[in-house]
Structures are given as structure tokens and as C-alpha cells.
Amino acid sequence: MTAPRRPGRIADLAPGYFALVMATGIVSVGFHEAGWVFVSDVGLGIAAAAYAVLAVLYVVRFVRHRDRVRADLRDPEVAFGYFTIVAASDVLAVGLLTRGWAAPASALLVVAAAVWLVLGYLLPWQVLMARDGSPILQRVNGSWFIWSVASQSLAVGLSAVEVSSPQLSALLGICTVMAWSVGTFLYAATAIVVVLRIVHHGITPQQFEPSYWVSMGALAIAVVAGAGIVEMPSVPVVDAARGLIGGTVVIVWCFAAWLVPMLLGAGAWRHFVHRVPLQYLPSLWSMVFPMGMLAMASMRLGRVESLAAIRTFGGGFLVVAVVAWLLVGAGLVVSLTRRR
């Protein structure tokens, strides 16, 4: 099992801490979609600052504690958290693109694509083949869905890029549709594995961590990516996939919305029925991000498909995501203050 992590130590930095940037970035993008530009700019600034700090900490951890990094890469309970690096880079890039800052956004997308390619082949090998000596299936959790989120986030970022060259536009279309498709299949595969884990080994209240919310967030980001593909310029691959993806995203949004009451009920079962203490954990950002992403997915889908009710729902759910962000952010501040 995963060894306890002591707060404040770089050696124990959670692999999935970039979910903080994901959550902050998507709330910022949601505000921009809703027309609250100033608030969106503030959120984007916080996300960029958090990204820079975490990037430095992760590099320091890799240099000083390679044994811990290697152990995390083989641990099925935390390894897939490293895909938050990809999603955080993409979400931040989208925020920059909405403001016309193409150069830094393009650099972030290149970083995201490179990390996605490396981790997409390295992590499954490390977890499934190299292993850490312990059984795997009973240690599968919601963080595995971040693999799908990373792929879909790349599709979101690529779909927002504008190029003038027909050749580059065609290549961009291929890469975007491929990233969306890979993310969709990864979601299905992950869902099967997670269900098998629950059926065969059950799940205790302590094991139902906030990362299980990513099961909904992965669907929501697939909606955002799909809506982005629908709006892309006409190129052969996009034209071939546009009809299928356009029809699929509505169904995917419905399933994502259906999961929300179930996840809320499971949270009540964890904290109110079984009295698991509600305290700050880095994985809480993996709960805020799906909320913000569902709000963004609803607003984007409502605009692209002219579905007023869904767009209104998105605006309301953005408020829920902001409240969650404020509460988790307050928990982070209190946690950092207590360490001094």
C-alpha cells in the first residue's frame, strides 16, 4: 500500500498536485465563457503562478528524490496523478489562447503533448509490467481516469489553435480527433477496471477519495473537446468525425450530469454516515476540477448546439465550482499556515 505522505516535504509531494492548476484554470476559463473577464484574468494569474511553483518543486523532487519518483511511477494508487501535468498545461494554454497569447500557449501545448506521449506509454508499463510487488486490481482508484482527462485536455487545447496553413490545419485536425478518440477509449477501459475493482474487492468509506469525481470530469472534458472539434475549420478528418462527435457529446453530457448526485451521495456516505474526517487533501482539487469542467462543458455545449437550458445549467454550476474552489483553497491556506 502507499506509504503515508508528510505534508510540507518535497519528497512527499503528491504526483497529482497539478490538479490545483487544473481546477483554478478551468474556473478561470468558465468565467471567461460567462463574460466575467476581470475575474477570469485573476484566476488565470493564480493558475499560472501555481503552475510555475509546482514545476520548480517537481523538478527539485525529481533531482533530489528519484527513488520516490520511481516508486510513485510503479504505484497504481498514485502513478496516474502525473497526468495532471498534461491537463494543467493544456488548461493554462487554453486560458492564454482566449487572450490571444499564442506563443506561450503553443509552448505549453508542446510540453503537454510531449509529456502525454512519454507518460502514455511509460506509466502503464511501469504500473502493469514493472509493478511495485503488490496486487494491482484492489488498488485501482479514481485517479486512473486522469489518463483519459489528459488525452481529452490535449484535444481541447489543439482545437483552440488557429493556423493559416492548410497543411498544418489538416495535421492539427488529425491530432485533435486522435486525442479525443484515444481519451474516449481510455475512459471506457478505465471504467471497466474501476468497476471490476469495486465488484471484486469492494470499497470502504476511507478508500472513496475525491479523485473518484474525475470519473465525471473525464466525461465533461470530452464534451468540451468534442464541442471544440465541431467548431474547428473544415478539414477531411474533422469533417468525417464532426457528425459522430457532435451527436456523441450530448449523450456524454447527460451521463456526466447523471453521475453528480451519485458522487454527492457517496460523499455523504463517506463523511456523514461513516464519519470520515473532512480535512484538506491535495486530491480535493481533483473534485473541484470536474465541477468546473461540467460547468464549462454545459456552457460550451449550450452555445454550440443552441441548448439554452443546458447553458443556463452551466452558469449555475459554475457558482458551485467557485464555492468548492474557495473552500478547498481556504483549506490549503490553513494547511500551509499550520506547518509554520
What pLDDT shows up at residue 296?
Answer: 93
pTM: 0.91
What pLDDT shows up at residue 61?
Answer: 93
119, 56 in Cβ contact below 8 A? no
253, 220 in Cβ contact below 8 A? yes
- Whole-angstrom Cα distance, residue 40 to residue 42? 5
* pLDDT tens track for 45-103: 999 999 999 999 999 999 999 999 988 988 889 999 999 999 999 999 999 998 889 89
Crossing angle of helices 37-64 and 84-97, rounded to 10°? 150
Establish how many alpha carbons lie within 13 A of residue 176's alpha carbon, considering only the half-sphere containing its beta carbon: 34
CB atoms within 10 A of CB 107: 13
232, 238 in Cβ contact below 8 A? yes
DSSP string, 77-129: TTGGGGGHHHHHHHHHHHHHHTTT-HHHHHHHHHHHHHHHHHHHHHHHIIIII
Q: Would you place residue 339 in the very low, low, confident or very high pLDDT band (cuts 50, 70, 90)? A: low
Residue 273, φ and ψ in degrees, nearest 5: -80, -45
DSSP string, 137-198: GGG--GGGGHHHHHHHHHHHHHHT---S-HHHHHHHHHHHHHHHHHHHHHHHHHHHHHHHHH
- Environment class of residue 200 by beta-carbon count within 10 Å: exposed (0-12), middle (13-18) or buried (19+)? exposed
Q: What dihedral do alpha carbons 131, 134, 140, 146 form, nearest 10°?
A: -30
Whether pLDDT at 10 is above 70:
yes
* pLDDT tens track for 265-308: 999 999 999 999 888 888 899 999 999 999 999 998 888 878 88
281: helix, coil or strand? coil
* pLDDT tens track for 101-122: 989 999 999 999 999 999 999 8
What pLDDT shows up at residue 126?
Answer: 84
- Whole-angstrom Cα distance, residue 173 to residue 191? 27
Least confident of 3-7, 205-209, 227-231, 283-287: 3-7
Q: Would you place residue 147 in the very low, low, confident or very high pLDDT band (cuts 50, 70, 90)? A: very high
| Domain definitions of the chain by residue range | 10-272+279-338
What pLDDT shows up at residue 340?
Answer: 57
What pLDDT shows up at residue 132?
Answer: 65
Q: What is 10-272+279-338's CATH number, 2.60.40.10, 1.50.10.150, 1.10.3720.10, 3.40.50.2300?
A: 1.50.10.150
